[in-house]
Each structure stands twice: as structure tokens, then as C-alpha cells.
Chains A and B, each alone.
Chain A
Amino acid sequence: EVHLVESGGGVVKPGGSLRLACAASGFTFSNSWISWVRQAPGKGLDWVGLIRDKPDGGATDYAATVKGRFTISRDDSANTVYLQMNSLETEDTAIYYCTTASVLTIGVSVPFGFDSWGPGTLVTVSS
């Protein structure tokens, strides 16, 4: 059974940093694409970024609102993906979820269907 657990959330002051972790089990982690999605209190879902698997170069993509401040990385030996968040702003306050993505490869690889989600970890940015 696929299992994802986020950790590392907490309260941080504006301008501060935090590193979230997403620990995975129950599937072949090294072949998986992992995405981060966040949800501000009482709001909708907001895609944060994605990291591809090593065969696809481990490349990353980010939402414009976090690009240059957030970095996604992975440690396949530990079955863990990280979200390093720097220069945090009050607008970054949210529950952060990690998810697995299926990938359709016909020539190019395109993700779809975020099919497993962790319970989320709450990040609060406040002075």
C-alpha cells in the first residue's frame, strides 16, 4: 500500500526558512514523480512544484509564486522528497501535501492523476 507522510511543518517568521520532508513507502520510489500541493486555510488547492524521477533527469518545475524561493530535491536511498522553503511570506501559510503522480510517456512524459496524498503538514508564517 502506498504511504506518504509529510513532516517539518511549524511556525516561522516572515523571511525565515523551513524544510519539509515527504517520506514514502509501498511503491518503487525511485521511479516516481512527486508533487507538492498546498492549501491555505479555508481555500482551494494550489500546485507548488514537481520533481521527476532520475530517468527523467530529476528535473523540477515550480509555480511562479515560489520559484526562486522553494527548492524540491529527492533522496532515493531514503525514499524521501524535500521541499526547502526560503524567504517565507505570510501568503505561504498553508497545509502542504506531497502526492505521487502517474506518468504517461508517449514520446514525452506528462504527469497525470495525483493518486496518493499524504495527510499534510501545516506551515504558519507569522510574526
Chain B
Amino acid sequence: DIVMTQSPLSLPVTPGEPASISCRSSQSLLHSNGYNFLDWYLQKPGQSPQLLIYLGSNRASGVPDRFSASGSGTDFSLQISSVEPEDVGVYFCMQSLLTPYTFGQGTKLEMK
């Protein structure tokens, strides 16, 4: 199985400051079709997860442009340019290149 490792697991952030989360996979997520099968999700407190980023770097519909993502192969990152209070929650990366699809452990973002 592909193992997904996120860091940090806890991320205290001051509103208005930037934030970054890393996600590493145990094998490359780059398909022969040229796409990285890596997504990012946010689970706000008491809610279902929501898709933020798909195929490595594409913002999902309705996601604010303060969210961006980059990376390829085994190293990926999610950046928030200026954290807002509503960004609080747990961020997960997930690979869908190979079954079983696997999630990272989650990174809990909280306000300082």
C-alpha cells in the first residue's frame, strides 16, 4: 500500500499569516498520463470532508484562491497565503493512483 505522511500534524497559525502543509508518498503518484493523483481535503469541525485541491494543484470549485498546492512524484505541499479563521480544521492529503486509496494522518490547523 502507498503510505502517505503529512507534516506537521499540528499547525497553530496567527490569522493573516501564511501556512504550509507537507505530504509525502511512499511511491510516486505521477501517472503515465502526466497527472499526479494527489488530492487535498479539509474537514472543518463537525462537518464532512470537502475537496480543496485535485490532481496535485487544481483548486476545486468554490475554493478561495488563498489556497494553492504544488508538487510532483512523491513530495507535495498545500499553502494558504493568508489564513482566515474559517480555515480551522483538519487537512488530509489522499492518493488515488492505486487501490487501496490512502490518506495522510491529517494536519490540525488551529488559530493561535
A interface with B by C-beta (< 8 Å): 35, 37, 44-47, 50, 61-64, 97, 101-102, 104, 106-107, 110-115, 117-120
A102 to chain B: which residues have CB within 8 Å?
54
Interface string of B76-112 (1 = CB under 8 A from A): 0000000000000010101011011111111000000
Please report the C-alpha to C-alpha distance between residue A83 and residue B78 in the assembled complex, in whole angstroms: 33
Q: Which of A45, A97, A110 has the most CB of B within 10 A?
A: A45
Q: List 28 A-B contacts (CB under 8 A).
A: A44-B90, A44-B103, A45-B43, A45-B92, A47-B103, A50-B101, A62-B100, A63-B100, A64-B1, A64-B100, A104-B33, A104-B55, A110-B31, A110-B33, A110-B37, A112-B35, A112-B37, A112-B39, A112-B96, A113-B51, A113-B55, A114-B39, A114-B41, A115-B51, A115-B54, A115-B60, A117-B49, A120-B48
Q: Are B97 and A110 in contact (CB under 8 A)?
A: yes
Q: Mostly helix, strand, loop or mixed at chain B's interface?
A: loop
Residues of A within 8 A of B43 (CB): 45
Chain B stretch 18-34: residues in CB contact (< 8 A) with chain A: 31, 33
Q: 9 shortest A-B CB distances, which residue pairs?
A: A113-B54, A117-B48, A106-B33, A47-B101, A45-B103, A61-B99, A63-B100, A115-B51, A44-B106
- A45 near B100 (CB under 8 angstroms)? no
Residues on A with C-beta less than 8 A from B105 are 44
Query: How many Å lie between the Cα of A46 and that of B1 in the bound state?
Result: 13
**Overall SS of chain A's interface:** strand
Kindly state whether residue B14 has any CB partner on chain A within 8 Å.
Answer: no
B39 touches A113 (CB 8 A): yes
Q: Mark B53-89, 1 if CB is under 8 A from A, else 0.
A: 0110000110000000000000000000000000000
**For residue B10, which residues in chain A have a CB less than 8 angstroms away from its CB?**
none
Q: How large is the interface on B (under 10, 10 to 19, 20 to 34, 35 or more residues)?
A: 20 to 34
Question: Which chain A residue shows the least CB distance to B37?
Answer: A112
B97 touches A97 (CB 8 A): no
Contact of A50 among B31, B99, B103 (CB under 8 A): B99
Give A1 Cβ to nearest chain B Cβ, in Å.
Answer: 12
A113 touches B60 (CB 8 A): yes
A119 cross-chain contacts in B, Cβ below 8 A? 48
Cβ of A46 to closest chain B Cβ, rounded Å: 7
